[in-house]
Amino acid sequence: MQFLDSYFLMIMILLVIFVLVFIFSGLMVLKEWERVVIFRLGKYLGVKGPGIIWKLPILDYVVLKASLQEQSTDVDTGRYISSEGSTQRVVGLVTWRIDDLKKYALSIDNHQQSIAIAIHHHVLKDAESMMSDAAYIDVDELNSEVEEALESTFSKWGLQIIKIDLHMARYFG
């Protein structure tokens, strides 16, 4: 009889330990500016955060942990030779933030690289078209054209442009 009581007690202790490990393995603590996108069995479940969140172990997994803070991407298009013969290049910074985390997680893969490529492509395309029209690029006009072009791409990805600050760098020699 005493053997059964100790056996029952050992099983109960193991069961309690298993339940506690199960519960604590699903806990996550997110900072105020962090959010996570969670999938359950491969299907979008939702966006959670900030604070203490719990996901069901084994069934739920975090697809993306993202910051809602402003982020910046450097722009450097490389050198151009203008019609007046001077070597130029466009350099600058594009500041953006995540506006819709669901779109951001589901629309693109390799987020930072995709954003950098899109920015570089639009800056390069607009700078080349402006350079073919005139010897000098109006930086304000370039900033507004790039912002207009990026706005449609970024809105599909759940991103918002905060600021575009492009400059012309000239080389003499």
Spatial distance between the Cα atoms of 15 and 1, rounded to a whole number of angstroms: 21
- What pLDDT, on the 0 to 100 scale, is given for residue 76? 87
Between 138 and 88, residue with greater pLDDT:
138
- What pLDDT, on the 0 to 100 scale, is given for residue 30? 97
- What pLDDT, on the 0 to 100 scale, is given for residue 128? 77
Nearest Cα to 67, choosing from 80, 50, 84? 50
- What pLDDT, on the 0 to 100 scale, is given for residue 154? 95
Residue-wise pLDDT for 94-111, tens only, equals 999 999 999 999 998 899
Q: Average pLDDT over the chain, rounded to whole?
A: 88
Q: Do 126 and 142 meet the contact criterion of CB atoms below 8 Å apart?
A: yes
At the fourth CATH level, which superfamily is domain 71-171?
A: Band 7 domain (3.30.479.30)
Q: How far is CA 75 from CA 42, 48, 93, in A?
A: 36, 32, 6
Q: How far is CA 70 from CA 76, 96, 164, 168, in A?
A: 20, 6, 13, 24
Rounded average pLDDT over 43-61: 95
Angle between helices 139-156 and 111-133 (to 10 degrees): 140
> Over 80: is that where the pLDDT of 80 sits?
no
Residue-wise pLDDT for 132-151, tens only, equals 656 567 888 889 999 999 99
Q: Could you tell me the two tokens for 171?
A: 């080389």
Domain segments of the chain: what residues? 2-67, 71-171
- What pLDDT, on the 0 to 100 scale, is given for residue 54? 95
